[in-house]
Amino acid sequence: MKHIVALLIKYTAISAVLLMILGIFQGISIPRILFLSLVITGGSYLIGDLFILPKYGNMVATIVDWGLNFVGIWVLTYLIKDIVLARNIGASAFFAAFLISVAEIFFHIYMKKVVLHEDEDSRESTNMSHNKYAMEISDEYVDYSKINKVHLSRKVEDGTNKLK
């Protein structure tokens, strides 16, 4: 379930960027852009997020994702679009890959915290435990529970407090 949510987040971010860049500057139709987003999301998720991110970290995974996105967008846009009507596909692919990479930085943080954690013990906890912030108490500490028991037992022995 965590992978499905992560894929939906990634697909939404890539689709939004590609709809803005390729839809406006290249004039590609929405169904073709959504298909292109699906292919880019699948490849980038498998290679960049599941293979490279856990082993090499956020920076390397972002650089690899940028390269995959740039080449993937450029090649797939070139294959989808008519060559005669093609404008500068390279510049559009570069800017789209750059914007996707900015979103990928935050997506990788999400992936590390939610999807890729090993087990619940190794995961950073956001719950604060009061045991972590316990303070040391010195001689001023008085255990009132013992005082009340001792005081009550003396009253019973003296006969001043009769229990009925």
pLDDT per residue rounded down to tens, the chain (164 residues):
889 999 999 999 999 999 999 888 888 889 999 999 999 999 999 999 999 999 999 999 999 999 999 999 999 988 887 655 556 888 899 999 999 999 999 999 999 998 887 544 444 445 555 555 656 656 666 666 666 665 556 666 666 655 54
* Joined tokens for residue 130: 């009061």
C-alpha to C-alpha distance for 72 and 19, rounded to whole angstroms: 15
Asked if residue 136 belongs to a domain, the reply is no
Eight-class DSSP state of 114:
I
Asked if residue 122 belongs to a domain, the reply is no
C-alpha to C-alpha distance for 22 and 80, rounded to whole angstroms: 11
H or E segment at 62?
A: helix 58-80
Asked if residue 75 belongs to a domain, the reply is yes
Asked if residue 76 belongs to a domain, the reply is yes
**Best CA proximity match to 62, nearest among 78, 50, 48:** 48
Determine the pLDDT at residue 123: 46
Maximum alpha-carbon separation in the chain: 110
Asked if residue 150 belongs to a domain, the reply is no
Distance, CA of 130 to chain centre = 27
- What is the domain extent for residue 36? 2-115
Number of domains in the chain: 1
Asked if residue 124 belongs to a domain, the reply is no
Q: Would you call 122 exposed, middle or buried from its count of C-beta atoms within 10 A (0-12, 13-18, 19+)?
A: exposed
C-alpha to C-alpha distance for 40 and 76, rounded to whole angstroms: 9
Asked if residue 126 belongs to a domain, the reply is no
